[in-house]
Amino acid sequence: MSILMYCLDKEGDITNVGDLVEKTGGDYTFQGRIVVIFNKLGAPDAIRVVVEGSEGLLLIMSPKQIRRVKDYAYEVLPRTSCPACGHQSQP
């Protein structure tokens, strides 16, 4: 298992630890901050994201289940590309 610095969400946007995200689809809604991004044991191509909600609940999800939420109180400058790989994101 390895800890990652970023991943791509359902929309293809770069998401980092600390970003505000919401769960998309399914029977319920969930919003919180990413606390860790990691590769699944035994499946290095499978990435998982741990999101902590306002009540302290932790959910482990696939990046395909989340979407980054615009968080004006937290973001200083919008990201347009990943510093590690240069992938272009929608501002």
Q: Residue 50: what pLDDT?
A: 94
Q: Residue 13: what pLDDT?
A: 76
Domain residue spans of the chain = 3-68
Beta strands in 1-91 (DSSP E): 3-4, 6-8, 14-16, 20-23, 31-40, 43-53, 58-61, 66-68
Pairing of strands 20-23, 14-16: unpaired
State CA 72 to chain mean position distance.
17
CB of 46 within 8 A of CB of 53?
no
User: pLDDT higher for 62 or 78?
Assistant: 62
CATH number, span 3-68:
2.30.30.1060
Pairing of strands 3-4, 31-40: antiparallel
